[in-house]
């Protein structure tokens, strides 16, 4: 992997087990990355829109988590409309499936949601 003009950011919350596994994997591979704690540091509309250029809304929203289950039916129905869903995510960053891996280089941008060893091996083989 060439890391010269590559910016790698991992978005999540530090106490999430899947985020911990992703961070550990990146560290063990000596891949430099920036961690963004979106519960503490928040998310911007521009950031969420950037992700949605690369992935589907249904991929980004965690409909199995406790944050989703705590929403009212009216709030849940907002998740079907892109603009309303973005507003809902900005109000409740824990709705985002974790982690979100964003890789930018001079030529492209890559976004992935979730973690498993095989997925990250494939991603970083291509870079």
Q: Say how far apart CA 32 and CA 9 lie, in whole Å.
A: 9
Q: Say how far apart CA 123 and CA 111 lie, in whole Å.
A: 10
Q: Which residue has the tokens 């973690």?
A: 115
Catalytic residues: 16
The dihedral formed by the CA atoms of 115, 119, 110 and 85, expressed in degrees to the nearest 10: -40
End-to-end CA distance of the chain: 6
């Amino acid at each position: 992997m060439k890391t010269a003009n590559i910016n790698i950011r991992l978005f999540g919350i530090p106490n999430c087990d899947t985020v911990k596994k992703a961070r550990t994997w990146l560290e063990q591979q000596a891949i430099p990355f920036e961690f963004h704690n979106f519960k503490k540091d928040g998310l911007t509309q521009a950031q969420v829109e950037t992700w949605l250029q690369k992935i589907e809304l249904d991929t980004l929203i965690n409909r199995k988590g406790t944050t989703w289950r705590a929403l009212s039916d009216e709030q849940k129905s907002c998740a079907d409309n892109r603009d309303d869903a973005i507003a809902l995510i900005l109000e409740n960053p824990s709705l985002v499936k974790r982690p979100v891996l964003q890789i930018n280089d001079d030529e492209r941008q890559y976004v992935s949601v979730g973690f498993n060893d095989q997925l990250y091996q494939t991603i970083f083989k291509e870079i």
